[in-house]
Structure 1
Amino acid sequence: MAAATLRSVLRRNRLVPLFETCRLRHLLFFSSSVDDAAAVAGTMSPDPHFMVEYLVTTCGFSPSEAAKFSKPLAHLRSTEKPDAVLNFMRSQGFDGAGIRKLISLKPIYLCCNVEKNLAPKFQFLRDLGLSESDIVHAILRNHGIIGQDVHRSIVPKLEMWESLLGSRELVLKHLKKTGWFFSSSVEKTMHPNLKFLRDECGIPEERVSSVLRTHPTLILRKPESLRALVVRAEELGIPRHSQMLMSILKALHMVSKETLGAKVEVLRSYGWSESEFFSAVKQSPNLLSLSPESIRRKMDFLINKVGYVPSFIAGHSCLLHYSLEKRVIPRLHVFEMLNMKGLWTRRGKFLSVVKLSNTKFMEKIVLPYKEKVPELLDILGAGECEGK
């Protein structure tokens, strides 16, 4: 993504003012924070193992868990900071299970400074529009928020995601439900990947953003891994400047080389040539997302029940995307019933009909015959529910 374009996008709805607002509120309202109260309430102990007992009695860990998680805390000689952190987290809606999860992920969080580290981040998330429960979910899924600087790290990452996904609402939706927002560096990973796709693969920014809205983690691959993914696409016959490249990368992103090899072997066992496989992938990149077992089941049905030859399926690979139970089998049964009644001949026409949307299928195939063959609706039942 060109730097000028990126800057112009980020200016539209910058997150930085939110950080400044959050910082001012923090100075006003948190100057006498939980840390001060904990300084009085915290207990001193010369015993280097006192944190084991603390984690058991205060957080609810088992003795073995406490022994494990206390190791990064061995330098502590007081419960002052842990008390402050626990009191603050509880005040923000974290229950015991949530607190234990955070500590198990990174025990050193118990050493955070509430006033300088935690409170500003929680206020920043509130200023984004997240509720208390939203913030709890977001932090449990993206616990890196706790250890990162708001201004230098969190804001740039959220701004980058807003520019890529296209809206603040979509960013917040993902933030609450997923755990990849803060897993990669903007400068070391996201920017180099965007530059590679733009400059060396010729992919327009709009196409990149369109794919990332459904597969955002593609841009979080290590730069060398993304380059290797492009090489795999080229091995499938998709040149890097092809308009299909992003669709192929989206599919390959979810499939290991070993799994892809297993899929190729399944299709070869039905007589597909390498060129037929490449042609099928170009027609339907999502073919790469099907499991070997799913491919085998669908090939068997289309060959043995529908009567298609493997080469025909290779030339119409969209057939492999449809659900057997929800679409292909119910529609085949409808045709068998109509054919038995002498009302329709399915020979040579099943492909065009299986591709119809539900609405069109009902209008063109089912409803015209519902009086003569009322059992058609029973045949479809709950199976015919795909709308594509």
Structure 2
Amino acid sequence: MFGFCCRRFQVQLLVPSFHCIQKERLFSRFYSSKSLVGPQGTSFTVSYLINSFGFSPELALSLSKKLWVQFESPEKPDSVIKLLKHYGLSGTHVSVMVKKDPRLLLFKAEKIFLPKLEFFSSMGISGTVLARLLCNNPRILALSLERSLRPCYDITKTLHIPDEKLAYFFSDFRRTTFKRLCIVARNVQVLRAHGVPQSSFPLWVPFYFNALSYDSERVKENIDKVISMGLRPSSATFMRALFVISVTDASKWEQKMEFYRNWGLTEDDVLLAFRKSPLFMSFSEKIISSKMDFYVNTMGCQPSDVAGCPDVLTYSLEKRIIPRCSVIRLLQLEGLIAKEDVSISTILKTSEKWFLERFVIKYQGQVPELLTSYKEKSVLQNLA
């Protein structure tokens, strides 16, 4: 079915994106000084960008150089601004779009942009959601509606991407998106054949989509690798593991294994951590080293304990790990709680309110400096 979709539409996206206005002489840069020069010798285009958006002269000049023609009158750019504001965008939103691509101001608003805006509106993409989409990806307005956007939308419906998530999907929409969608559609069938539930791969989440953007044979190989590591296709972490495997070649995997071996972890420890939190194998070695050093050398944890709850490596060392562990270590030194009474995982995963009530407010009378220690993010080495 999906192969049929691909053959049916044969998308011919705009290449390059902004060649829609074919009847005008878009590439000539030689105009009379009268049409291009504004007040005090400034070009009309630069003056327009300054006056309409509040850009600095330097920025306006830089943006004007990206245009294939200069403005001869405010009529066309004014109509673009008016149309975008009619659809709920503020002056700030339009300014962001123009900074990213000033060529938008050269298009015929009613002919080129209006059909796309109506299309997005029909999908429920409007107001602040539409503004965010266009600010992230203003060039989407220059793509063909019938040869690009609508066919891709039709495929997203077969992939069960709900309308309320389409804005996130189109925010990253590019000329190659249709081709990728066809590939992903085929690989979705591969996942289903392996028993991966639909709920496990929300395709509007970039790394799920990316994991399925390779050719089907490679995806099948990656699926088999993940299964061989002990993850069931129905497990909640299967798709995250598939993503990590898809972006990690054999040499990078071995490099990461060696890194964790140097911290005293066995291969079984690493695979256990990977099964629980697949992103464990994609963390920055520099960042993980500082956290492992803290847990092992300051808090006295065993490396295998960290591997048993790898999520503790995802928290900020300065904002969460050190402040909370400072409190726990101080309470231990005062003999108010035993090491076995709490786990690092519990300490870090719980809400701010729960932690304050359970470990700070409860003992503040006995340890007056406790709240100060927490607020100032005390370094534990000073407590030893």
TM-score of the alignment, normalized to the shorter chain, above 0.5:
yes
Q: CA deviation at 1:323?
A: 3.1
Residue pairs, 1:206-355, within 5 angstroms: 206-209=199-202, 212-213=204-205, 215=207, 217-218=209-210, 221-223=213-215, 227=219, 230=222, 233-234=225-226, 237-238=229-230, 241=233, 243=235, 244-251=237-244, 262-346=255-339, 349-351=342-344, 353-354=346-347
Q: The residue matched to 1:334 in structure 2 has which SS?
A: helix
In the alignment, the residues of structure 1 paired with residue 280 and residue 140 of structure 2 have an alpha-carbon distance, to the nearest angstrom, of 37
Percent identity for Structure 1 against Structure 2: 23
Q: CA deviation at 1:281?
A: 0.8
In the alignment, the residues of structure 2 paired with residue 225 and residue 348 of structure 1 have an alpha-carbon distance, to the nearest angstrom, of 50
Q: CA deviation at 1:134?
A: 5.7
Match of 1:7 in 2: none
Structure 1, unpaired ranges of 5+: 4-34
CA contact (8 A) 1:189 1:221 kept: yes
In the alignment, the residues of structure 2 paired with residue 352 and residue 137 of structure 1 have an alpha-carbon distance, to the nearest angstrom, of 36
Q: CA deviation at 1:184?
A: 1.0
RMSD: 4.7
Query: Quick one: which amino acid aligns to residue 88 of structure 1?
Result: S
Residue pairs, 1:1-388, within 5 angstroms: 49-50=29-30, 57=43, 59-60=45-46, 70=68, 86-93=77-84, 98-99=97-98, 101-102=100-101, 110=106, 116-130=111-125, 135=130, 137-158=132-153, 160-161=155-156, 167-172=162-167, 175=170, 178-180=171-173, 183-185=176-178, 188-199=182-193, 201-209=194-202, 212-213=204-205, 215=207, 217-218=209-210, 221-223=213-215, 227=219, 230=222, 233-234=225-226, 237-238=229-230, 241=233, 243=235, 244-251=237-244, 262-346=255-339, 349-351=342-344, 353-354=346-347, 357-358=350-351, 359-381=353-375
Match of 2:40 in 1: none
CA contact (8 A) 1:117 1:146 kept: yes
Q: CA deviation at 1:253?
A: 6.2
Q: CA deviation at 1:160?
A: 4.8
Count of equivalent residues:
331
Task: Say if 1:220 and 1:231 are closer, same or farther in 2 by CA, change over 3 A.
Answer: closer
Match of 1:25 in 2: none
Structure 2, unpaired ranges of 5+: 3-20, 38-42, 47-58, 85-90, 379-384
Q: CA deviation at 1:252?
A: 5.0
Alignment TM-score, normalising by the size of structure 2: 0.65
Task: Say if 1:55 and 1:172 are closer, same or farther in 2 by CA, change over 3 A.
Answer: farther
Query: Quick one: which amino acid aligns to residue 167 of structure 2?
Result: L
In the alignment, the residues of structure 2 paired with residue 350 and residue 318 of structure 1 have an alpha-carbon distance, to the nearest angstrom, of 13
Task: Say if 1:317 and 1:122 are closer, same or farther in 2 by CA, change over 3 A.
Answer: closer
CA contact (8 A) 1:239 1:245 kept: yes
Query: Quick one: which amino acid aligns to residue 150 of structure 2?
Result: V
CA contact (8 A) 2:192 2:198 kept: yes
In the alignment, the residues of structure 2 paired with residue 351 and residue 174 of structure 1 have an alpha-carbon distance, to the nearest angstrom, of 37
In the alignment, the residues of structure 1 paired with residue 325 and residue 356 of structure 2 have an alpha-carbon distance, to the nearest angstrom, of 14
In the alignment, the residues of structure 1 paired with residue 77 and residue 217 of structure 2 have an alpha-carbon distance, to the nearest angstrom, of 40
CA contact (8 A) 1:164 1:212 kept: no
In the alignment, the residues of structure 2 paired with residue 315 and residue 305 of structure 1 have an alpha-carbon distance, to the nearest angstrom, of 18
